[in-house]
Amino acid sequence: MNKVSCVSSGKHRKMRLCEWRGMNCFVNYLAKGLSFMEELQQPKKVFSRLGWCYIAGTATVYVLQIVVGYFVGVYKPEWTYNMSISLILSSLVTYGCGMPLIVLLAQGMERQTIERHKMKWWQFLVALIMCYSLMYVSNIVGTIITTVIGVFKGSAVDNNLVSYVTGSSMLVNFVLMVVVAPIVEEYVFRKVIVDRTVQYGQGIAIVTSGLMFGLFHGNLNQFAYAVGLGAFFAFIYIKTGNLKITIGMHAIINFMGSIVAGMLLKMLDYDALAAMDPEDMGAIQNLVMENLGGWMLFGLYAIFLFFVIIVGIILFIVFFKRFKVEPGTVQIPKGKAFEVLILNPGMLTFCIIWLILIVLQLFM
């Protein structure tokens, strides 16, 4: 063999070696890609199933509300104008049918027991003040947004919660908003969601709980603060493992918002004030003077809220470094949390449905 052929043969061997190495790298790349996709598929299936469970609950609530509304309109049309009865029927459908169905459907999903830790009384008080501050700051932001939307559409965005608070009896509000709602909602949106998602990390479980809780409220007014409130409750539940603590906080928040605020609004004769012509300053002034005692109490309540908000913001700054979340037993690759949480059939459909309902509510 001459020198030229040896050189040529050596070049061919090097080329084949490079081709083999390149093919090997490509195969390894594909294998890693497939393995990476398989790692995401399992958690995405979990979040998708969770989304379908809550979609089923949502559909049940809306279908039953239509059915109940039809029969009430035919046989008891006077109930339509009774806010107490409307709230009772709505609560029966939501808390008695829709949410129990969610719990039932999610029963077979794998769950992780949250380790229990004690919370001292002063820690509860600090957390409650922070929670209260978070809710009202978020509520102010939500009110500003809905007000701007109302200006552009030419009419105010309806807030049905105010109508229920001022139009229903205090007893009905107390039983449903202070007792029933905190117990059922904390179980459905904290325990059911967190227990089934915390294995993928405390952070993603907190976000999931807050997002689904906010969307389920179905209107922008409540969504603005329900997301933050739900995430905060989820954080407390994860760190304590005690659902009674979040139920207690939720009950106090609802008591202040539905009972105390409701009584004050009634003392102001809020319904009459809202129905007045804004340009009729004389009539407005007369109504204010007739309910002067109520306005004084309302002023004190507003000062109290302002104080709580400021203290809550300070506490958030002081304890900010303590808001740490731990990774889960199943690691979600960095930068893939959104894909796992949202980009799956169940959760994506759940979010789209509720966003459509929220947008429709803005223009009703």
pLDDT one-digit tens code per residue, 240-255: 999 999 999 999 999 9
Q: How many helices (H) and strands (E) does the chain have?
A: 17, 0
CA dihedral in degrees (347, 130, 262, 362; nearest 10)? -30
Per-residue pLDDT, 21? 59
The answer, yes or no, to whether residue 22 has pLDDT greater than 70, is: no
User: Considering all CA atoms of the chain, what is the largest pairwise distance in Å, rounded to the nearest integer?
Assistant: 117
Q: Please determine, for residue 50, whether its predicted confidence score (pLDDT) is greater than 60.
A: yes
pLDDT above 80 (res 9): no
Residue with tokens 């070049």: 11
pLDDT at residue 125 greater than cutoff 90:
yes
Angle between helix 121-153 and 345-362 (nearest 10) = 60
Phi, psi (5° rounding) for residue 98? Answer: -60, -50
The Cα–Cα gap between 190 and 115 comes to 14
Q: In angstroms, rounded to a whole number, what is the distance separating the alpha carbons of residues 291 and 278? A: 18
Q: Which of 31-40, 290-299, 330-339 has the lowest mean pLDDT?
A: 31-40
CB atoms within 10 A of CB 253: 21
Give yes or no for a contact between 227 and 162, defined as CB atoms under 8 angstroms apart: no
The whole-model pTM stands at: 0.86
For 217, which DSSP code? T
**Residue 34's pLDDT band (boundaries 50, 70, 90)?**
very low
- Tokens 């796992």 belong to 340
Q: How confident is the model at residue 16 (pLDDT cuts 50, 70, 90)?
A: low
For position 123, what pLDDT does the model report? 94
Q: What is the pLDDT of residues 71-124, one digit of tens each?
A: 999 999 999 889 999 999 999 999 999 999 999 999 999 999 999 999 999 999
